[in-house]
Amino acid sequence: MRVLIADDHGIVRSGIRLLLERQSDIEVIGEAADGAEASSLAIRERPDLAILDVKMPKLTGLQATREIKRQAPEVSVLILSMHDDERYLFEALKAGASGYVLKAQADTDLLAAIRAVERGEPFLTPEAQRTLIRDVLERGPGGDEDLTPREEEIVKLVAEAHTTKQIAEILHLSEKTVENHRANAMRKLGMRDRVELVRYAIRRGLIEP
């Protein structure tokens, strides 16, 4: 089984490589330190599996996943996520990842995840499964409360401390339109003011703190 490892931390790549090379049937065919490198390497080398960290420079693991799945759909993707961070789970699944492993559990779950992917099965850690179930229950059946691109763009600008007027000028819109998009985004997310929006934007990685 040919595997690609992508993580911006050399230390983490070493740890994973160490873990995988104890398996006789797994061969690490490459490493990447950012998302762009990861996707181009995966598309060129067509490994059986690409293990991608969520948080990487240039392209995030999720963006890289979309790119890989578009140009080389036969490559399976496992998303590796930092600490107890399950917030990208949905995005990962939507992007076409076969599994989602938290780094805190990586040393025990990663091999299990690889074996599952090898058999063509999806893999979610018990925590991820719980998150998925909780969220489906929260959103109600079928309800997909995603922000539209325009809403996300405006949330980003709001979180960067631009006023409604400034945003209207930047995007060449009326203040009213900006206000409507902001209000719609807040309603979808169940938030009451710009402060909550800022924290949302930072959690989502839309802006830097």
Distances (CA, A) of 20 to 73, 100, 150, 160: 23, 17, 42, 42
User: Does position 183 bind a second copy by CB under 8 A?
Assistant: no
Report the nearest approach of DNA to the CB of residue 26 (Å).
41
3-state secondary structure of 123: strand
One symbol per residue from 149 to 188: x for binding DNA (CB under 7 A), - otherwise; what is it?
xxx-----------xxx-----x-xxxxx-xxxxx--xx-
Question: In angstroms, rounded to a whole number, what is the distance separating the alpha carbons of residues 147 and 167?
Answer: 18
Please identify which residue in 1, 19, 132, 189 interacts with a second copy, judged by CB under 8 A.
Answer: 19
Among a second copy, DNA, none, partner that 186 touches (CB below 5 to 8 angstroms by kind): DNA
Nearer to a second copy, 40 or 105 (CB): 105
Selection from 188, 192, 190, 183 nearest residue 164 by Cα: 183
Nearer to DNA, 40 or 177 (CB): 177
Does residue 6 contact residue 61 with C-beta atoms inside 8 Å?
Answer: yes
Please identify which residue in 107, 121, 135, 138 interacts with a second copy, judged by CB under 8 A.
Answer: 107
